[in-house]
Chain A
Amino acid sequence: MAADEAITTPRSTGSARADEAITTPRPTGSARAGSTAVFSDRPAKIRVKGVALSYRNNTSSTAVLSDLSFDVAEGEFVSLIGASGCGKSTTLSLLAGLRMPDSGEVHIDGVPVTGTGKDRSVVFQHYALFPWMRARRNVEFGIRQVSDAPKREIAAKAAYYLKRVGLEGKEALYPHQLSGGMQQRVAIARALAMETEILLMDEPFGAVDAKTRVVLQDLLLELLQEQERKRTVVFVTHDIDEALLLSDRVLFMNAQRISKVIEVPFEHPKKRHEIAQTLVYRELRKEIFDMFYEDEGEYLASGI
């Protein structure tokens, strides 16, 4: 995707909040400061509109999302980024169908989400594999839920994806025999092997060490790149570099909604070292970094 094509245009939408959101100034120079980009101009695969959600218990109610709106185009990789507690994981659980909004709409392909579905696979931060199944069985088990293919085909597909994530020879191990990074590889293999149109990832590399994280990010990029049909990906993270490396668009969440949309102008295949050298990258990085702190005034207070 060329950078210039990715410029979002204002759209008249029903959401007043959407109009208030501001895009980043275009670092490439062809800036359209002030344009709205909560909804992209491509047909939406996923559309979230005016969603509100509160966590309730007997005595109190805490608003987690209010008037949340955004959409994700088919084949797009979108990151949700923000400080912890901003509601990004909750947003992902809405898309997964694990939770229903109090009000507002969550649509996939124009159809309201009423629960989990075979068009989506999810990678969680941890504890997502079944401890009583070997790596191979975990992947096969996932495939079997979305495919009626014969056993041998399913086994072959599981073996292929486990090999692709670098776990050849470890297929017969149980999750507890694998390191945290390897367990996430199995989870990614399972999600990819299910070949769903939508891939939802909730801080999938949040619990692995820094070195492994870099390897897994590159692996994910490579695997998504080589898919015949581009997956639509929504990726939750609080890691700025991770978001910039992986995404086509970064949605910054703050105060229970999307407060800013950032277009990431780098062309595929992205190379970590090349894009990190560019001025654009550094500017975007600083911009997001500042957003993490601007509200609370923490940045000044902490004296970083």
Chain B
Amino acid sequence: MPQASETSALARLSRVNLVRYLPQLIILALLGLAWSLYGALTGGSFLLPRPDEVVEVLGADFAKIFESIGASGLLLGLSSLIALVLGVLMGMLCGQFERLKGAVLPIARVLAPIPSLIYAPYAVAIVGDFFWAAVFVIASGLFWPVLFNTVNAIEDISDELINSARTLNLPTRTMFAWVMLPHCLPYLFNTLSVQVSNAFLLLVGAEMMGMRSGVGWYVKYWADYSNFTTVFAGIVVIAVIVFVVNILLEKFRDRVLSWK
């Protein structure tokens, strides 16, 4: 009996997901159809290959693509984590100390719009290691939006809730970990989902500086050889990764913010 209900729950879940993603799936299918049609009619061209050619590359170069996905994942994951931790910490401190906020925010507003890829040569010169220079470039690009949104979140916290927390005599650490941080989480998830595309732009840029694998490097490398079939394969891979990252982020958010 429990098994039966489990199955039905699973069926319900997949039905919900299917309905939820149906419009996206239809658009993808139409794009695929148009591409296939183009391939069948023209036989493909130098700049825009046929889908079967791309699929062939994906199969043939599987090992290198797989390695690149891993390398990019590590780079992006580490950079995002560093940006999140530093941004949230700094944001909370700014939220707590008006003076610090007054000192930091005007400077931050000037620094934030500067594309962090500009720092790349300096980062390489200072850090001396391509991987960590890339981490620095991506993390510093993501740091600002995290900082601004955390400051914003702390400003939004209601006096009633703060007073309630104060009457419980919370130690500072508990106040940060169990009141401030959870309050900021919805803001942070919003920031992350907006910044996913920004993160991939930064990733591709950062991987051009001396890396030897990674999805951004892969596309750039084969574009330099004008091998557009392989470039296309790389673009498909990036598209799939972005799609999956977005879905995972959404799932993770729904799980963490179940109290909303």
Contacts and interface: CB of A to CB of B under 8 A. Distances in A.
Contacts of B114: none
B121 interface: no
Contacts of B174: 145
Interface stretch (A106-114, A123-131, A220-228, A287-295): A123-131
A282 interface: no
A156 to B, nearest CB: 20
B7 interface: no
Interface string A158-191: 0000000000000000111000000000000000
Contacts of A131: 259-260
B182 A132 contact: yes
A121 B258 contact: no
A141 B163 contact: no
B167 A120 contact: yes
Given A124-B163, A176-B259, A145 B169 contact: yes
B182 A128 contact: no
B164 interface: yes
A122 B174 CA distance: 19
Contacts, number: 59
Contact of A128 (B161, B178, B185, B259): B161
Given A132-B259, A174-B258, A174-B259, A122 B182 contact: no
B167 A122 contact: yes
A121 B161 contact: no
Contacts of B169: 116-118, 145-146
A237 to B, nearest CB: 18
A127 B164 contact: yes
A279 interface: no
Interface in B214-260: 258-260
Contacts of B170: 145
A130 B182 contact: yes
B109 to A, nearest CB: 25
A289 to B, nearest CB: 30
B160 A126 contact: yes
Contacts of A127: 158, 160-161, 164
A31 interface: no
A96 interface: yes
Interface string B174-187: 10001100110100
A141 B166 CA distance: 13
B180 to A, nearest CB: 11
Q: Which 3 A-B pairs have the closest CB atoms?
A: A127-B160, A128-B164, A132-B182
Given A98-B167, A129-B164, A175-B259, 6 more contacts: A116-B166, A127-B160, A128-B161, A132-B182, A176-B260, A200-B167
Interface of B: 158, 160-161, 163-170, 174, 178-179, 182-183, 185, 258-260
25 contacts: A97-B167, A98-B163, A98-B167, A116-B167, A122-B164, A122-B167, A124-B160, A124-B163, A124-B164, A126-B160, A127-B158, A128-B164, A130-B179, A130-B182, A131-B259, A131-B260, A132-B185, A132-B259, A133-B259, A145-B168, A145-B169, A145-B170, A174-B259, A176-B259, A176-B260
